[in-house]
Chain A
Amino acid sequence: GAVVSQHPSWVICKSGTSVKIECRSLDFQATTMFWYRQFPKQSLMLMATSNEGSKATYEQGVEKDKFLINHASLTLSTLTVTSAHPEDSSFYICSARDQPYEQYFGPGTRLTVT
């Protein structure tokens, strides 16, 4: 099956700094990628949908200036958490779609802001 990777798998950063997370589709081209956030013992929450070459569409309540998404190619999307604070600590998961009705998820990135 299709493989989606994320880098880094975990990151610790200081409050006020920015962190970039990469999401790559390894063996297929993804016209659409999705970013989710998951807090401990909670379900996944969709943050934004990104289409290659266009601006991301953010879900209600997600600050687009804080969570910068770039989908510059058909195999790479990045999420940058700007001026991170402890409340941004979470498990960030991306997914990619190569055809309708099937999404492939990355392994996730655990962000800890100290």
Chain B
Amino acid sequence: DAKTTQPNSMESNEEEPVHLPCNHSTISGTDYIHWYRQLPSQGPEYVIHGLTSNVNNRMASLAIAEDRKSSTLILHRATLRDAAVYYCILDQTGANNLFFGTGTRLTVIP
């Protein structure tokens, strides 16, 4: 399974933008990049996904490097409710079996 690498933890001040990086140097051409987040004692929540182009939705933006070996999840204005563990996952097309890495624990400082 293609592997992703994320920082263990990050901090952000409330109402400031947050850039969460993810490296996936062994990504294959058909792997989608997914981001999920998990609040304590809850199931993961879908955030965003993309293949090659940058993506925007109501929750976040996803910036994908031109060589696709890395991506960045962008939260435009962090709120206290955004404090969670964020997982960057590669989804092999057709399989949709999501293999979670260790993720990045985001702390939002009021």
Q: Which residues of A contact B (CB under 8 A)?
A: 1, 4, 6, 32, 34, 36, 43-46, 49, 91, 93, 95, 97, 100-108, 110
Question: Are B97 and A105 within 8 A (Cβ)?
Answer: no
Q: List 9 A-B contacts (CB under 8 A).
A: A43-B102, A43-B103, A44-B38, A45-B100, A95-B98, A100-B94, A102-B49, A107-B42, A107-B43
CA A4 to CA B45, docked complex, whole Å: 11
**Nearest neighbor of B32 in chain A, beta-carbon distance:** A101
CA A91 to CA B44, docked complex, whole Å: 12
Question: Are A108 and B49 within 8 A (Cβ)?
Answer: no
Give the size range of B's interface with the partner: 20 to 34
Question: Are A105 and B49 within 8 A (Cβ)?
Answer: no
* Interchain CB contact (< 8 A) of A49 among B45, B91, B97: B97
Question: Are A103 and B98 within 8 A (Cβ)?
Answer: yes
Question: Are B99 and A95 within 8 A (Cβ)?
Answer: no
B87 neighbours in A (Cβ, 8 Å)? 43
Question: Are B96 and A32 within 8 A (Cβ)?
Answer: yes
Question: Are B32 and A44 within 8 A (Cβ)?
Answer: no
Question: Are A106 and B46 within 8 A (Cβ)?
Answer: no
Q: Does B101 contact A (CB under 8 A)?
A: yes
Known A34-B97, A43-B100: A93·B43 in contact at CB below 8 Å: yes
CA A10 to CA B87, docked complex, whole Å: 24
Contacts A44-B44, A100-B94, A100-B96 known; list 5 others, CB within 8 Å. A34-B97, A43-B87, A95-B44, A103-B46, A105-B45
Tell me the chain B residues, 82-100 only, with Cβ under 8 Å from chain A.
87, 91, 94, 96-100
CA A46 to CA B101, docked complex, whole Å: 11
**Nearest neighbor of B99 in chain A, beta-carbon distance:** A46
Question: Are A105 and B96 within 8 A (Cβ)?
Answer: no
B41 neighbours in A (Cβ, 8 Å)? 91, 108, 110
B94 neighbours in A (Cβ, 8 Å)? 100
Tell me the chain B residues, 1-60 only, with Cβ under 8 Å from chain A.
32, 34, 36, 38, 41-46, 49
* Interchain CB contact (< 8 A) of A97 among B42, B96, B100, B101: B96
